[in-house]
């Protein structure tokens, strides 16, 4: 992302504020809070834009201003900010060339989850792990952590043995009911390194045990080895561990054979994508273990309902793909309609409660070799989206409704009192391109404006970016109010904090923030993180 425009905007903004203070005849004193906010904003933005000289100077001045409790006389403040005025002039006049942002990292980097009630340890580990180029989500609240584990599908999980609500062993036991069918490296760490603690950890399914205090270099190497094992395992396995049907890694080879058969026999084949309706409610109401049971039974139901010549894959979450060999659209629609009738009659039982489910499907019939796999899946998935939009428990054909297909909308709200940061974030979101999803991005300068807009009442998923420090209503206050709304289940929150305050970060995580980023942040890394979070949300 080009940064020159934003550097110039920052200098212009800084200059305007200084002129307002020093050339306003009526203003003789300046409130110390205004000076603190000004320097805080300059520091956060300068660091983000890699304006190193300006960042270091504003950091130094902010350290002094933080201790100030009385207003500034105009002459006194002019002397205090003299170096800042000079460095701003240099940037404006000669466009000083500073270090560029780091090379953009891939969005699909490993995702690591840490569960620990020690916020200092969380911040320390998150910082060190992310320096390796990995993405980290951190949790202090056990229930939130378990929910996020199922929603975000981390590639590695690190759990402290000594947690206040539940012990790390209890968390591991809860996850074991799910992870015994998946390979997710599980690492436990504790200040207790006695033989009994270590034995219990390994008995409960831990893949490693690390003693506190942690040797950071050794810790990072061990995590790297676990992630490498995970990568090799994922590449080598073609069968989905949970449902025992083919996974998406086998899709391309199968599709090539599927197309070859179409060419050889001069017939049509049909691809179908099936998705269980309201599956999240199953997890929320009956638990993720029951959700896994439903997925297993659904996969077996499909397998028993199709021909030996058809191929079934688990595509992700509750979505399954079927390649119907030598089957035109009309026949496939009839088959799926009968399957829907039978599946909706199946009764699931959990805790003396009985419930039933339905599924929706999108189909796309292919009659020539020009259609590649990505296009076929995308087209069938658009038909599935339309089936959901039209009421669920139905089958839609992409061949019949091409003109009606539309993208799914995610509402993105940016709340930040800094106009420059709002502009940068708007640019980041507008540059993100995702299949099947349209990002509806709106920025607000304060929390009151955000809530008065009734933004959260809009149907669909919401992604909220909050600045931690704002004059009218700070990010924590906004987050607290958001979590009290009825739409809280569909709101994912990223907090931007300008200081590594353990209290602020701990409170943000307690209130349910999905992630936090400390200013100054790299724009390319932030873009990759946002893209990754959105993709995990809609899997």
- Cα separation, 382 vs 453, whole angstroms: 30
pLDDT at 503: 78
pLDDT in tens, 119-159: 888 888 998 998 898 999 998 888 888 888 887 889 999 99
Looking up residue 399, the CATH number of its domain turns out to be: 3.30.70.270
In a domain, 68, yes or no: yes
**DSSP class per residue in 208-269:** EEEESSP-HHHHHHHHHHHHHHHHHHHHH--B-TTT-SEEGGGHHHHHHHHHHHHHHHT--E
In a domain, 292, yes or no: yes
pLDDT in tens, 391-445: 999 999 988 775 455 567 889 999 998 777 787 788 888 888 776 678 899 999 8
pLDDT in tens, 183-211: 899 999 998 889 999 999 999 889 999 99
Given a cut of 60, whether residue 102 has pLDDT beyond it is no
Of 76, 94, 112, which marks where a domain is finished? 94
- Cα separation, 417 vs 355, whole angstroms: 47
Looking up residue 75, the CATH number of its domain turns out to be: 1.20.120
CB 152 within 8 A of CB 536: yes
Given a cut of 90, whether residue 164 has pLDDT beyond it is no
**DSSP state, residue 513:** -
- Cα separation, 445 vs 279, whole angstroms: 36
Residues 274-303, mean pLDDT to the nearest whole number:
92
pLDDT at 97: 35
Number of domains in the chain: 4
Of 64, 94, 124, which marks where a domain is finished? 94
- Cα separation, 162 vs 149, whole angstroms: 19
Of 403, 435, 458, which marks where a domain is finished? 403
pLDDT at 187: 96
**Considering Cα of 484, then 486, then 489, then 495, what sign does the dihedral take?**
negative
Q: To the nearest whole percent, how much of the chain has pLDDT over 70?
A: 90
pLDDT at 100: 31
Whether 74 and 112 map to the same domain: the answer is no
In a domain, 362, yes or no: yes
CB 481 within 8 A of CB 103: no
- Closest by CA position to 475, among listed 457, 442, 501: 501
Q: For the chain, what is the mean pLDDT?
A: 84
Whether 213 and 320 map to the same domain: the answer is no
Neighbours of 27 (CB within 10 A): 11
Q: Enumerate long-range contacts of 430-434, CB under 8 Å, 24 or more apart.
A: 431/1, 431/527, 432/527, 432/530, 432/531, 432/534, 434/531, 434/534, 434/535, 434/538
In a domain, 150, yes or no: yes
Neighbours of 349 (CB within 10 A): 10
How would you class 78 by CB atoms within 10 Å of its CB: exposed for 0-12, middle for 13-18, buried for 19 or more? middle
Whether 189 and 232 map to the same domain: the answer is yes
Q: To the nearest whole percent, how much of the chain has pLDDT over 90?
A: 35
In a domain, 241, yes or no: no
Whether 252 and 399 map to the same domain: the answer is yes
Whether 108 and 66 map to the same domain: the answer is no
Whether 256 and 356 map to the same domain: the answer is yes
In a domain, 347, yes or no: yes
The range of the structural domain enclosing residue 133 comes to 101-236
pLDDT in tens, 212-265: 889 999 999 999 999 999 988 877 778 888 899 998 888 888 999 899 888 888
Helical segments of 132-215, H only: 142-152, 168-179, 195-203
Quote the strand ranges of 258-385, DSSP E: 269-276, 311-316, 319-324, 348-350, 353-355, 359-366
Residue 94: strand, helix, or coil: helix
Label residue 395 left, alpha or beta by phi (over 0 means left) and psi (-120 to 50 means alpha). beta
User: What Å distances lie between residue 442 and 41, 438, 447, 464, 486, CA to CA?
Assistant: 21, 13, 13, 10, 21
Whether 259 and 368 map to the same domain: the answer is yes
- Which two structure tokens, joined as six digits, stand for 424? 């940068």
Looking up residue 208, the CATH number of its domain turns out to be: 3.40.50.2300
Give residue 98's pLDDT band: very low, low, confident or very high (50, 70, 90): very low
Whether 11 and 79 map to the same domain: the answer is yes
Give residue 282's pLDDT band: very low, low, confident or very high (50, 70, 90): very high
Whether 124 and 64 map to the same domain: the answer is no
CB 238 within 8 A of CB 249: yes
What b/e readout covers 210-229, taking b as 16+ CB neighbours within 10 angstroms? beeeeeeeebbebbeebbee
Whether 433 and 393 map to the same domain: the answer is no
CB 204 within 8 A of CB 173: yes
User: What Å distances lie between residue 355 and 156, 255, 296, 339, CA to CA?
Assistant: 33, 36, 16, 18
pTM here?
0.61
Whether 61 and 141 map to the same domain: the answer is no
Bridge partners of 497, per DSSP, are 518
Whether 278 and 391 map to the same domain: the answer is yes
Bridge partners of 441, per DSSP, are 412
Instruction: List the single range of 29-43, 107-121, 284-298, 516-530 with lowest mean pLDDT.
Output: 516-530
**DSSP state, residue 349:** E
pLDDT at 242: 87
**DSSP state, residue 184:** -
């Amino acid at each position: 992302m080009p940064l020159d425009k934003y550097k110039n905007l920052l200098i212009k903004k800084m200059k305007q504020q200084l002129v307002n203070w020093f050339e306003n005849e009526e203003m003789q004193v300046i409130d110390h809070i205004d000076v603190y906010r000004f320097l805080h904003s300059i520091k956060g933005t300068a660091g983000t834009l890699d304006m190193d000289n300006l960042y270091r100077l504003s950091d130094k001045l902010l350290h002094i201003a933080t201790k100030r409790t009385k207003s500034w006389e105009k002459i006194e403040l002019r002397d205090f900010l003299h170096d800042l005025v000079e460095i701003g002039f240099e940037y404006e006049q000669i466009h000083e060339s500073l270090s560029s942002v780091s090379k953009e990292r891939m969005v699909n980097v490993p995702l690591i989850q840490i569960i620990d009630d020690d916020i200092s340890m969380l911040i320390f580990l998150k910082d060190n792990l992310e320096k390796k180029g990995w993405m980290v989500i951190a949790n202090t609240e056990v229930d939130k952590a378990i929910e996020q584990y199922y929603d975000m599908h981390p590639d590695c999980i690190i759990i402290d043995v000594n947690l206040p609500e539940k012990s790390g062993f209890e968390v591991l036991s809860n996850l074991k009911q799910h992870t015994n069918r998946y390979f997710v490296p599980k690492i436990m760490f504790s200040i207790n390194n006695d033989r009994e603690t270590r034995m219990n950890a390994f008995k409960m399914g831990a893949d490693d045990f690390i003693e506190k205090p942690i040797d950071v270099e050794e810790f990072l190497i061990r995590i790297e080895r676990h992630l490498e094992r995970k990568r090799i395992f994922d590449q080598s396995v073609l069968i989905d561990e949970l449902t025992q049907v083919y996974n998406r890694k086998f899709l391309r080879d199968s599709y090539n054979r599927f197309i070859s058969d179409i060419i050889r026999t001069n017939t049509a084949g049909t691809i179908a994508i099936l998705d269980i309706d309201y599956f999240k409610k199953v997890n929320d109401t009956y638990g993720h273990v029951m959700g896994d049971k439903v997925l297993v039974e659904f996969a077996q139901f499909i397998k028993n309902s199709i021909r030996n010549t058809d191929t079934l894959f688990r595509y992700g979450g509750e979505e399954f793909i079927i390649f119907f060999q030598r089957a035109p659209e009309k026949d496939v629609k009839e088959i799926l309609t009968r399957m829907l009738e039978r599946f909706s009659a199946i009764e699931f039982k959990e805790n003396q409660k009985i419930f039933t489910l339905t599924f929706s499907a999108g189909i796309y019939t292919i009659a020539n070799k020009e259609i590649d796999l990505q296009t076929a899946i995308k087209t069938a998935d658009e038909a599935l989206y339309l089936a959901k939009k039209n009421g669920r428990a139905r089958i839609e054909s992409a061949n019949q409704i091409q003109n009606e297909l539309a993208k799914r909308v995610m509402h993105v709200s940016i709340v930040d009192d800094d106009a420059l940061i709002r502009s940068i974030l708007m640019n980041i979101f507008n540059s993100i391109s995702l299949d099947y999803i349209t990002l509806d991005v709106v920025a607000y300068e304060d929390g009151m404006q955000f809530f008065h807009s009734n933004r959260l009442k809009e149907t669909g998923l919401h992604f909220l970016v909050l600045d931690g420090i704002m004059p009218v209503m700070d990010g924590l206050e906004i987050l607290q109010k958001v979590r009290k709304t009825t739409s809280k289940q569909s709101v994912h929150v990223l907090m931007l904090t300008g200081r590594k305050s353990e209290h602020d970060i701990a409170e943000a995580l307690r209130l349910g923030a999905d992630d936090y980023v400390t200013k100054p942040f790299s724009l390319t890394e932030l873009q990759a993180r946002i893209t990754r979070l959105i993709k995990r949300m809609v899997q």
